[in-house]
Structure 1
Amino acid sequence: MTREFDIDVIASTPEHDTPGSVADLAVHAEGLGFDRFSMGEATGWNLATILAVVADRTDEIGLSDDVFSPYGRSPAMLAQTALTLHDISDGRYRLGLGPSSPAITERWHGVAFERPLRRLRETIEIIRAVYENGNPEYHGEVFDIDGLNYDRSVPENPPPIDAATLGPKATELAGRFADGWVPQLFTVDALEERLEDLRRGAELGSRDPGELRTSLIVRAFADEDREHARETVRSTIAFLVGAYGPYYGDSVAEQGYPEMVAEIREAWSERDTAAMAEALTDEALDDLAAAGTPEEVRERLREYGEVDGLDAVRVGFVNGMTIEEKRATMEAVAEL
């Protein structure tokens, strides 16, 4: 790939019958020259197990998760998981964390969704304590841990920690405490504005903003049947905006689409997914995703890649795409 930014790819695990099938896709991504391979975790497979299989089957491609919840695993377990995946992958793993959402936190993990940003900050600090001292001892507002010793040696360069956030304060937190930022559903203009929050956070933490890895998730579908690609992506973006917790919708509304978001949410209140998709305008689709012919998708990703401070575009897929369509999109993107 001849470009100045990395290209990552996110696999969707539900359509895979076995962990080996996910690993096959990772091997394909590695062969195409993608920089990192990632997967999301919600209520399906335990992602740490799948990443271990992928690590064993690949040699060079970086590995990430999008993202582990600080409510679903204790900070010490997250540190253990990261260090184990670091060892299995020969240092190719980056730990992804995010505040999560009320639905997954309360209806899956059975934990009250309280103080998400404070919990995320303390989780990162505890993981760093394990990295630095081999001990999670910590006395904070959310966690109070006396600590035990990690019974293996901690590597000199432990896994970096990426934070997936949206709002200005949350992104400032990412800049101050994490090693990378993983945003999604941003227009180019809004991304540039939010990067200022990331830089401010880095400065507050006496850190170099240039050392943070920013990788923007962009939902993509490249197909010569342009309208098929666009309508497939439109449905998923509308669902993320209207139904997937309050945060994506709030963020998109603040980026200049308040009336559209309100209309999508109204349609979701009636569970009318067709009306949700219809309410998502062409302008918003073009602003928030990369959907259309292969060249249109590549051009859109190039526009993001030119943003100062963006290190990688993380290509994600959408519901309704076949595995063959995902592979074809990966191959189209690999020509960048």
Structure 2
Amino acid sequence: MTELDLFVDPSDHDRPQSVADRAVDAEKLGFTTVSTGETTGWNVVPALALAADRTSDLRFSTAILSPYARSPALLAQTALTLSSLSDGRFRLGLGASSPAITERWHGQAYDRPLRRLRETIEVVRTIAVTGSSTYDGDIFDLDGLNYERGSSAVPPIDLATLGPTATELAGRFADGWMPQLFTRDGIEMRLADLRHGADLGGRSIDEVRVAPIVRCVVCEDRERARALGRNAVAFMLGAYGPYYGNSVADQGYADVVAEIRAAWEDRDTDAMAAALPDSLLDELAAVGTAEEVREWLVDYGSIDGIDAIQVSFVRGMDEADRENTLDAVSALL
């Protein structure tokens, strides 16, 4: 079995401290890494700092931070601080985010996202290795100030990407790749792009930790588990920006995505869920009984090139659902 990570959604928690509590539990259960994302809710860095201070072996990742929300220098400071606090257990997860969050929340123009990602990686590494922010790029042109703590080990940098060009970028420049909502055939196709990027970078794909995010729901009531998963996946495809839907459409499900999006135009979430066939739900999410979910994870984790699976919950699950799911999947550890 590949490694199991746990993605923790801050919106499932009333206080940042309980995100750290979940991380402590994850370490006890044997999970390798805990990751957490950031959109328009909490700044996740304090929660990760608390979690790192309360654990000893668990690794941590941001899945994801946006290069439009923080400057490359601040991202470097954040990564180096969390790496120091955790004795090197931190991974910096970055992604291009979306036009909606970038423009309507951060007030930035969503321009040249892939170039910005590449230059952000380079600036972070430059600061860590040289202790200076000096950089001459297309997006960032920095005369350079010195990082007060000098040079340091570079924390691993992971990218969350979906498309072929962006995934080549991850293969060429990143230390890890965090995809999501890929069928088995779809992720094997995209792994070829990752390998091509690694070839362009003169390295092996074995140097890139591949850890897809997978939505998991375990419930004694099998149909309830599947309904929760169906609602979550349909919302991601139809309402959560264009990229997830476009990605699944490109994997051979254009008609399904179009029907889900048409239902979203009427804000008909029941119709959105109904438009997602069982066959596609079973390709994209691990939902059902404990045994079904474990079998799904083992099968998906057996794909050549996958190093870990990030177990993620879905909206609508209560704490009992989350505990049941953790207990079920941790039996694989």
Q: 1:125 aligns with which of 122, 125, 135?
A: 122
Aligned structure 1 segments of 4 or more residues deviating by more than 4 angstroms? none
Residue 20 (str. 1) matches residue 17 (str. 2) = yes
Q: Which residue of 2 aligns with 1:281?
A: 277
Under a length normalisation based on structure 1, what TM-score does the superposition of the two structures give?
Answer: 0.97
Give, in whole Å, the separation in 2 of the partners of 1:320 and 1:17: 15
Q: Secondary structure at the match of 1:135?
A: coil
Q: What RMSD over aligned residues (CA atoms) do the two structures have, in Å?
A: 0.9
Q: Which residue of 2 aligns with 1:261?
A: 257
Residue 333 (str. 1) matches residue 329 (str. 2) = yes
Q: Secondary structure at the match of 1:9?
A: strand
Give, in whole Å, the separation in 1 of the partners of 2:28 and 2:40: 30
Q: Secondary structure at the match of 1:85?
A: helix
Does the CA-based 8 Å contact 1:83-1:154 persist in structure 2? no
Moved more, 162-171 or 320-329: 320-329
Residue 243 (str. 1) matches residue 228 (str. 2) = no
Q: 2:213 aligns with which of 213, 217, 233?
A: 217
Q: For 2:98, give the aligned amino acid.
A: S
How far is the alpha carbon of 1:264 from its aligned partner?
A: 0.6
Give, in whole Å, the separation in 1 of the partners of 2:56 and 2:321: 25
Unaligned runs of 5+ in 1: none
Does the CA-based 8 Å contact 1:213-1:311 persist in structure 2? yes
How far is the alpha carbon of 1:17 from its aligned partner?
A: 1.8
Give, in whole Å, the separation in 1 of the partners of 2:150 and 2:34: 27
Q: 1:167 aligns with which of 163, 184, 187?
A: 163
Give, in whole Å, the separation in 1 of the partners of 2:121 and 2:12: 32
Residue 78 (str. 1) matches residue 75 (str. 2) = yes
Under a length normalisation based on structure 2, what TM-score does the superposition of the two structures give?
Answer: 0.98
Residue 193 (str. 1) matches residue 189 (str. 2) = yes
How far is the alpha carbon of 1:49 from its aligned partner?
A: 1.1
Does the CA-based 8 Å contact 2:130-2:150 persist in structure 1? no
Give, in whole Å, the separation in 2 of the partners of 1:255 and 1:15: 30
Q: How does 1:61-100 map to 2 (within 5 A)?
A: 61-100=58-97
Identical residues among aligned pairs (%): 60
Q: Which residue of 1 aligns with 2:56?
A: 59
Q: For 2:191, give the aligned amino acid.
A: L
How far is the alpha carbon of 1:64 from its aligned partner?
A: 0.6
Residue 137 (str. 1) matches residue 134 (str. 2) = yes
Does the CA-based 8 Å contact 1:98-1:163 persist in structure 2? yes
Give, in whole Å, the separation in 1 of the partners of 2:191 and 2:231: 28
Deviations 1:294-315 (A, max 9, x none): 0100111111110101000001
Give, in whole Å, the separation in 1 of the partners of 2:103 and 2:273: 27
How far is the alpha carbon of 1:135 from its aligned partner?
A: 1.3
Unaligned runs of 5+ in 2: none
Give, in whole Å, the separation in 2 of the partners of 1:74 and 1:189: 36
Q: 1:44 aligns with which of 36, 41, 44?
A: 41
Q: Secondary structure at the match of 1:262?
A: helix
